[in-house]
Amino acid sequence: MSETTNLKLPFLEAAQAQKHVTLNEALGMLDALVQLAVKSRDLTAPPDAPTDGDRYIVAADATGAWAGKDLNLASWTDGAWSFFAPVAGWLVWVEDENALLVWNGSAWVSAASGTASLTEAELAAGIPKLGIGTAADDANLLAAKLNAVLFTALEAASGGTGDIQFKVNKETAADTASLLFQTGYSGRAEMGLTGDDDFHVKVSNDGLAWTEAIRIEAASGRARLALLRPVIAATADYTLLPGDSGSLVSISKATATTLTLPADAPAGFAVTVKQSGAGQVTFAPASGATLESYAGHTRTAGQKAVARLAVFENSTGTAAVWTLDGQTAA
């Protein structure tokens, strides 16, 4: 064996003449490789006037005196370039990037993350994707998985203005610039410029059907609250659901129909009911709920009759007190 395993330092041979030559060669290699720091890793050709001891990582597609030495370590010593092929695990400090890299067996990567470290030129051109705690993809070029985010203004004392703005820009008025809130990656609320330059606030309970709650007109600044109320068309017995508050319930059936009033409806819950069909509608409070009305009425008066139902109190959350009025009958 004529050299060491890892750094390939030459051994002194028995009865070797001029042993100092071999020893000095090994010391030179140690000087080049131990506590390794390089000037840069971006050059594809040697610098014009290197200083003795300067070291570089040869960039890909190298030319001139560095040709064929891609990704090797190049050291300028005694007026000549020496090259060293890295071994997995070698660490190197890149001075012009303030970055610590490690050779993973095929590439120089960040010693901290184990992934390829971008050059200054690549950073200046823009990071194509960035993931923090999760992987970015083509649909979400910037992705973060964390519990809190803080944006704070750069203070005047630090060279800033003390102000901060969060800007979301779209290309044309017909495009969308918005903030979307999701549950299980399904949309539930959205606000912003959605399809025009008016400011919209809308909500959804399934990510498919959306109801606009507020719209502020760009031209006038006038705010419009949602006045259109959803219509529920029932053709059979029906039990009011938590999301039905504020709705118009149209019951169309040729025979008698029952509308069940749940006991867990909160105070403030209200609906308007129309008997659209010939079948009379009976309002039946569920177990725990009660119904109050003028003269003990519990049904619609007849076809085309309209009645209103509201919960004025529910002290326990399971004992809704319903009030009925309108075109009703006993």
Query: Would residue 235 count as lying in a domain?
Result: yes
Element (H, E) at 28: helix 19-33
Number of domains in the chain: 3
pTM more than 0.95: no
pLDDT in tens, 191-200: 999 999 999 9
* pLDDT the model gives residue 22: 62
Q: Looking at the structure, tell me whether residues 207 and 262 fall in a common domain.
A: no
Query: Would residue 138 count as lying in a domain?
Result: no
Query: Would residue 133 count as lying in a domain?
Result: no
Q: Looking at the structure, tell me whether residues 217 and 200 fall in a common domain.
A: yes
**With contact defined as beta carbons under 8 Å apart, do 108 and 92 qualify?**
yes
Q: Looking at the structure, tell me whether residues 325 and 235 fall in a common domain.
A: yes
Confidence of residue 111 (pLDDT cuts 50, 70, 90): confident
Instruction: Look at residues 110, 129, 152 and tell me which one is the last residue of a structural domain.
Output: 110
Instruction: Look at residues 196, 225, 254 and tell me which one is the last residue of a structural domain.
Output: 225
Say yes or no to pLDDT of 55 above 80. yes
* pLDDT the model gives residue 15: 65
Q: Looking at the structure, tell me whether residues 324 and 235 fall in a common domain.
A: yes
Bridge partners (DSSP) listed for residue 223: 216
Query: Would residue 139 count as lying in a domain?
Result: no
Query: Would residue 191 count as lying in a domain?
Result: yes
DSSP string covering 41-99: S--SS--SSPPTT-EEEPPSS--GGGTT-TT-EEEEETTEEEEE---TT-EEEETTTTE
Q: Looking at the structure, tell me whether residues 78 and 52 fall in a common domain.
A: yes
Q: Looking at the structure, tell me whether residues 260 and 207 fall in a common domain.
A: no
- Residue range of the domain that includes 295: 231-329
Give CB contacts under 8 A, 24+ apart, made by 171-180: 173/197
Confidence of residue 256 (pLDDT cuts 50, 70, 90): very high
- Indicate which CATH number applies to the domain containing 279: 2.60.120.640
* pLDDT the model gives residue 114: 67
Distance of alpha carbon 166 from alpha carbon 176, whole angstroms: 16
Three-class secondary structure of residue 276 per DSSP: coil
Instruction: Look at residues 110, 131, 154 and tell me which one is the last residue of a structural domain.
Output: 110
Query: Would residue 193 count as lying in a domain?
Result: yes
Distance of alpha carbon 90 from alpha carbon 103, whole angstroms: 6
Q: Looking at the structure, tell me whether residues 245 and 221 fall in a common domain.
A: no
Query: Would residue 27 count as lying in a domain?
Result: no
* Tokens matching residue 86: 């890295």
Query: Would residue 152 count as lying in a domain?
Result: no
